[in-house]
Structure 1
């Protein structure tokens, strides 16, 4: 396997400016409306609850819209990402709105060292993040290292069943990829990105992995964390299965056009570190 960090960093570095310029991420809304929150965090709110006064670390924060949203809810936030171009956009947005957010450049597995041993009340991972990590057990170790005693983990992620569906088939739902974590990654080269943009990209290769739901939960339990919630959802923030999905305006998310009850598209997992 090639250096997945370098490959994925190049992919995200090139896409960060286009994402920041797109209406999908809503930079202008953040600047003009001090109460505006990202769609992801708005969806999370019923399960996330009150985060005011908490110290938080957002792993794989990308361009920082979810990080800023958590800060607007009262958390004292730090964001971490491997892409310097993404962090440049995140810092620009935070500066424009006057948000005191600390952004740190590092890959997820290097987070405890990059953060100099700091611990947090909240470890938050937004949707579309865990798939870029090859080893979910190692990720759980990072979470354990970053959580203060009594601290909580909040993860919303694409469901591993959704990731395993063959997205090239529009006539039927069928599995085309591994559900369980495998040493061999998905090594794809696809043009474009998930926001509406006319930008053409040169770095289109991306390396990712799936992680079974049981594997993720078990990795946290093995570190001594207490799982406090697991909810599966029928929606996801992007058109993950083109030709088979419809956008639900009231949710701001996508669900299956037919038989939404047949496939979970995302999940929310919460855990707490014992005092």
Structure 2
């Protein structure tokens, strides 16, 4: 596979990074004003995340660093990695303004081991909306395993693959429209919008994406030598993934308005290295 997907996807994220940093959704002013403020994504998983103080953590595909900063505020020594220089510029600015000692490294996630060093981390964290940009979940799992020291753990919260398989253009009912299982060829989207509320007009609008079934994710981690220690499926997700079909709760999570019990929308997976 060529690296065309990296060029297209990086251009897309580079253009959107300053818009995301200025949006209400990422709540940068609250991070600046409130020393204990945490991102909604990290807050959601606090009961499962537990005490991470003193841990050395790597946040893969960290984007503008709000989740990375949140983990640092919980006491971890964090390093953020992303392939988008524009995203990292926003992340570094946020860390500087909040006085957080976070290293941000520019690299593709598959190059994380040479970029960050192997077997160094107690915690590898990956948040919502990251895995769909990767063509091979098995290669990702091997990367995670190589980053972790013995006894270290992976903490992943991600959109559920059944959600990624839904066609959001159907606003009257949930409708399957895309593959559930990982495919060799990418899904090619041309979309001038982004997932935060804004009035920007974008020019870098073509992306290549892949879905990865839940069994594929679990199997890839097991084959990489990790032990699955937790898997929880949730009926909510932190953005309006299916417009017209969802209702937002007081914590910023979105659920199906009708019969939310019928479909998982995200999951939290934990795995450890022995």
TM-score computed with the length of structure 2 as normaliser: 0.98
Which consecutive unaligned segments of at least 5 residues does structure 1 have? none
2:218 maps to 1:217: yes
Distance (Å, rounded) in 2 between the aligned partners of 1:106 and 1:81: 6
Shift of 1:118: 5.5
After TM superposition, the runs of 4+ consecutive aligned structure 1 residues lying more than 3 A away are: none
Alpha carbon RMSD of aligned pairs, Å? 1.0
Match of 2:253 in 1: 253
Is residue 2:5 matched to residue 1:4? yes
Contact in 1 for aligned 2:188/2:206 (Cα 8 Å)? yes
Q: 1:2 and 1:148, CA in 2 relative to 1: closer, same or farther beyond 3 A?
A: closer
1:174 shift after superposition: 2.2
- Give yes or no for the alignment of 1:115 onto 2:88: no
Answer whether contact 2:119 2:150 (CA < 8 A) is retained. Answer: no
Aligned to 2:266: 266
Equivalent positions of 1:136-175 (< 5 A) are 136-175=137-176
User: Partner of 1:125 in structure 2?
Assistant: 126
Any idea what SS the aligned residue of 1:210 has? Answer: coil
Q: SS of the counterpart of 1:68?
A: helix
C-alpha separation between the residues in 1 aligned to 2:210 and 2:164? 9
Give the deviation of 1:132 after TM superposition: 0.3
**In structure 2, what is the Cα distance between the partners aligned to 1:180 and 1:202?**
30
Q: Which secondary structure state, in structure 2, belongs to the residue aligned with residue 46 of structure 1?
A: helix
Report the alpha carbon displacement of residue 114 of structure 1 after superposing the two structures with TM. 1.0
Q: Give the aligned partner of residue 92 of structure 1.
A: 93
Cα deviation for residue 223 of structure 1 reads: 1.4
Question: Can you list the C-alpha shifts for 1:90-125, whole angstroms capped at 9, x where unaligned?
Answer: 000000010000000001001101113362000000
Normalising by the residue count of structure 1, what TM-score does the alignment of the two structures yield? Answer: 0.98
> Aligned residue pairs: how many?
273
Report what 1:179 is aligned to: 180
Runs of 5+ consecutive residues of structure 2 not aligned to the other structure: none
Aligned partner of residue 192 in structure 1, secondary structure? coil
Q: State the match for 1:240 in structure 2.
A: 241
